[in-house]
Amino acid sequence: MAEGRDESIKKLFDAKSAKVNTNRGEEYFADLYVKCQKRLGELKAMPATGGGVDLRKVLEEDGFERRDFLKWASATTAMLMLPASFTPLVAEAAEVMNRIPVVWIELSDCAGNSEALLRSDGPKIDEIVLDIISLEFHETLQAAAGHQAEKQLEEALELFRGKYILFVEGAIPLGIDGNFGTLGAKAETFKDHLLRLADGAAAVVAVGSCATYGGIPAAAPNPTDAVGVMDIVKGKPVINIPACPANPANIVGVVLHYALTGSVPELDSLLRPKFAFGYRIHDNCERRAHFDAGEYVEEWGDEGAKNNFCLYKMGCKGPMTFNNCSIIRYNESVNWPIGVGRGCIGCSEPDFWDKYAYERPMANAHIKAPTGGVERTVDQFGLGLLTAAGIGIGIHAAASVMAGKKNSDEKDA
Amino acid sequence: MKFDYKKIERMTPAMRIIHWANAICMIAAIITGLYIAHPYYQSFIAEGAVDKYVMAWNRWVHFISAIIFDVTSIVVVYLYFFSRFEKPYRKLIPNAKNVKEFGEVVLNLLTLNRRKRFDSTHSDSFNTTYFTIFHLLLFFMLFTGLQLYVHGLESGESSIGAWWPAFLHITTDWTIPVTGGTLMDVRIAHHITMWLIIVWIVFHIYYQIWRTIFWEEGDIAIVFGGSKFVKDKE
Ligand code: HEM
Ligand code: SF4
């Protein structure tokens, strides 16, 4: 008990040590290099699971040249905050990623993260790399259905016990004993399903904001009591890749990091990899100069909007959101929310739907009173307080004046 | 009936400087803080973004007043315990004497000065408690504000060294779980506390003027000249 308390007190004081350590010194990286080489050698010796697709061939068929792939590899190396000398290793790791079995499940979700991987204008290298990972089970993508699918899952769990990475998309409803969401003929609840699959996993990766913190299913009033993976799965490495949808580049980054080093990347206090969530959107935003200048879009489509002014007054939450989409963008740098002219809604932060996504500056947003009832903006609340104080003072002043001065001298006299 | 007035020294020059520094910084922090929250005027200056810097200046003024608050707060904490003549912490201990005095001062206010049964020569326990609330609110502003500030130092470096962001994380990270768990909660708390401070200020000014008028001891002069006058009966 006492230990638990110490732990929670300790946590209180290093809740978010966001320091991103990009340079750990030559010695560290030299060691890591040797370690990675060894690890890749081991992986190569292993048989490719799944279909054993060859990345080079797939890339060729999709019209990518070797050069494109190497460009991608060097960008990914930079994203993982590794020195440029690691580029060949990253390229190699991408080629042997199909040795790492992956089980992907969907719980309370919209399949948006899977969609983000699948529905780009043309497959990007990130997505192709994800395509060839050894996806042993993915309800949405696989051909099998019903009992057949269940059998496939059981086989995969058996065969790759202790080795597979479990990807979870979607929140876990806990209300009415978890019966808001059940799977299969035996009506296993999402919670039991997750716990059973997590048990045999090497690591659990929560993809998207719902799997991470409960996301939209957990938004007020959270009718199903939805929570995220890290609230349920204990005693396993959990990696969170929030955002709505999670950026395929970051998903690849985590798997690559695992393939390359055999370990999970460095995480922040919310279990998000620091390479992706160590920086604030606002600090790398292309509209930041307009923020500092006080040039804001005042309404959609106005002169400011045409001139790419800052979206702060349209409710941009970049100043309170940590994510790398202002650096790497989406779909291999095609664009990102602020780039297309709408504000950030803080989708990679906890409680984003209730606390970030209202598309107004916080001062104008309707915030629930602590009692849960009335919704008022912070400023209305403040002005209310001020008015109450003013009325009180007014009454007191008027009473004082009417009662007249009764000073202590008379009393003494 | 005749009586003399006796002069009582209440605030040293240092304390008065702190008071007015705080007052000016507070006005500056509120004006610029409200701008940061919701830029309420537009920069119509026909110049490129590089030359205007309107939000950046607002934030600069906000942070400078914050840093002045940092310094005055440390000095005030020191004075609470080691002040040369009035050690305010003594009035905060809830012993029978202080509780009774607190009640009497409240009654004095509520009975519109019909009843005044306490010694108004020195700072009474009601006043001291009220000031302490202010300093606690200001501390909360400092911690939440510095937490908001350290978001921008994610590289772990700063112009004055890596110790500064590290120090800020150690001293302010607790505000995240305490205010509700997200960075936005810290910001909401920072904003709402501003309103609490404004309400505090309004009553503070009213009460000081009211005392000056009704007690007839020149209380308002304390903060300008450093002393007030009490009637010396004889
Ligand atoms: C005590 C008087 C203070 C008042 C009245 C005040 C008020 C405010 C207000 C209203 C905001 C806007 C928050 C929002 O978005 O709604 C703000 C933002 C902020 N304040 Fe304060 N504040 C005070 C002290 C401080 C202190 C001591 C610091 C410490 C450095 C600080 C740092 C900040 C920061 C960093 C922001 C966010 C600015 C940004 O994101 O660009 N404030 N303040
Ligand atoms: S658009 Fe958003 S993230 Fe970009 S500078 Fe403005 S407030 Fe910051």
Residue B61, domain member (yes or no): yes
Residue A153, domain member (yes or no): yes
Rounded alpha-carbon distances, angstroms, from residue A278 to A322, A363, B201 = 6, 26, 39
Query: In the listed set A238, A256, A277, which residue is the last one of a domain according to the structure?
Result: A277
A287 plus A262 within the same structural domain: no
Query: In the listed set B30, B61, B83, which residue is the last one of a domain according to the structure?
Result: B83
Residue A325, domain member (yes or no): yes
Q: What is the pTM of this model?
A: 0.89
B94 plus B152 within the same structural domain: yes
A122 plus A47 within the same structural domain: yes
CB contact under 8 A, B52 and A294: yes
A233 plus A310 within the same structural domain: no
Domain with residue A399: its CATH number is 4.10.480.10
Residues 6+ apart with CB under 8 A from B142: B66, B69, B70, B73
Query: In the listed set B67, B83, B99, which residue is the last one of a domain according to the structure?
Result: B83
Of all residues in chain A, the one with the smallest CA distance to B232 is A409
Residue A207, domain member (yes or no): yes
A249 plus A311 within the same structural domain: no
Burial (CB < 10 A; 0-12, 13-18, 19+), residue B165, is: buried
Domain with residue A124: its CATH number is 3.40.50.700
3-state secondary structure of A121: coil
pLDDT at position A1, please? 37
Query: In the listed set A253, A277, A301, which residue is the last one of a domain according to the structure?
Result: A277
- Is A394 an interface residue toward B (CB < 8 Å)? no
Residue A16, domain member (yes or no): no
B95 plus B191 within the same structural domain: yes
A318 plus A266 within the same structural domain: no
Separation of alpha carbons B45 and A183, rounded Å: 61
CB contact under 8 A, A393 and B202: yes
Across residues B145-157, what is the average pLDDT? 90
Residue B113, domain member (yes or no): yes
- Is A279 an interface residue toward B (CB < 8 Å)? yes
B71 plus B131 within the same structural domain: no
B65 plus B162 within the same structural domain: no
Pocket test for ligand 2, best of A288, A325, A345 (most atoms within 8 A of CB): A288
Ligand 2 centre to CA of A127 (Å) is 28
Residue A17, domain member (yes or no): no
B79 plus B90 within the same structural domain: no
Distance from CA of B181 to the nearest CA of A (A): 8
A253 plus A351 within the same structural domain: no
Q: Which atom of ligand 2 is nearest to the CA of A310?
A: 6
CB contact under 8 A, A320 and B187: yes
B53 plus B95 within the same structural domain: no
Distance from CA of B87 to the nearest CA of A (A): 28
Residue B203, domain extent: 86-222
Token pair in block for residue A277: 């969530």
Residue B230, domain member (yes or no): no
Rg, C-alpha atoms of chain A: 26
Residues of chain A contacting residue B194, judged by C-beta atoms under 8 Å apart: 382
DSSP 8-state secondary structure symbol assigned to residue B190: H
B116 plus B172 within the same structural domain: yes
A363 plus A346 within the same structural domain: yes
pLDDT at position B85, please? 67
Q: Closest to B202 (Cβ–Cβ): which among A13, A389, A413?
A: A389
B59 plus B170 within the same structural domain: no
- Is A387 an interface residue toward B (CB < 8 Å)? no
Distance from CA of A122 to the nearest CA of B (A): 35
B74 plus B144 within the same structural domain: no
Residue B154, domain member (yes or no): yes
A332 plus A392 within the same structural domain: yes
Separation of alpha carbons A387 and A393, rounded Å: 10
Residue A290, domain member (yes or no): yes
Distance from CA of B141 to the nearest CA of A (A): 15
| Banded pLDDT at B2 (limits 50, 70, 90) | low
Sign, Cα dihedral of A93, A96, A97, A100? negative
Strand pairing category for B4-9 and B227-232: antiparallel
CA angle A120, A125, A130 (to 5 degrees): 85
A238 DSSP β-pair partners: A204
Round the average pLDDT of chain B to a whole number and report it: 89
With beta carbons less than 8 A apart as the criterion, state whether A240 and A230 touch: yes
Residue A169, domain member (yes or no): yes
What's the number of domains chain A is made of? 2
Pocket test for ligand 2, best of A284, A298, A309, A311 (most atoms within 8 A of CB): A311
CB contact under 8 A, B181 and A381: no
Query: In the listed set B36, B60, B83, which residue is the last one of a domain according to the structure?
Result: B83
A88 plus A68 within the same structural domain: yes
Q: Which atom of ligand 1 is nearest to the CA of A363?
A: 16
Residue B2, domain member (yes or no): no
What's the number of domains chain B is made of? 2
B43 plus B140 within the same structural domain: no
Of all residues in chain B, the one with the smallest CA distance to A387 is B199
Q: Closest to A381 (Cβ–Cβ): which among B169, B184, B195?
A: B195
pLDDT at position A378, please? 83
Does residue A361 or residue B198 have the better pLDDT? B198
Q: Which atom of ligand 2 is nearest to the CA of A344?
A: 2
Q: Which atom of ligand 2 is nearest to the CA of A286?
A: 4
A40 plus A73 within the same structural domain: yes
Residues of chain A with pLDDT under 70: 1-19, 49-52, 119-123, 134, 368-375, 404-413
pLDDT at position A408, please? 46
CA nearest neighbour of A239 among A259, A262, A264: A264
B40 plus B101 within the same structural domain: no
Residue B114, domain member (yes or no): yes
| Banded pLDDT at B233 (limits 50, 70, 90) | low
CB contact under 8 A, B202 and A289: no
Query: In the listed set A232, A250, A277, which residue is the last one of a domain according to the structure?
Result: A277
Residues 6+ apart with CB under 8 A from B205: none
Q: Which residues line ligand 2 (CB under 6 A)?
A: A 281-282, 285, 287-288, 291, 310-312, 316, 318-319, 338, 343-344
Residue A330, domain extent: 2-11+279-412
A170 plus A41 within the same structural domain: yes
Ligand 2 centre to CA of A319 (Å) is 7
Phi, psi of B233 (to 5 degrees): -75, 140
B188 plus B116 within the same structural domain: yes
Ligand 1 centre to CA of B182 (Å) is 16
A105 plus A140 within the same structural domain: yes
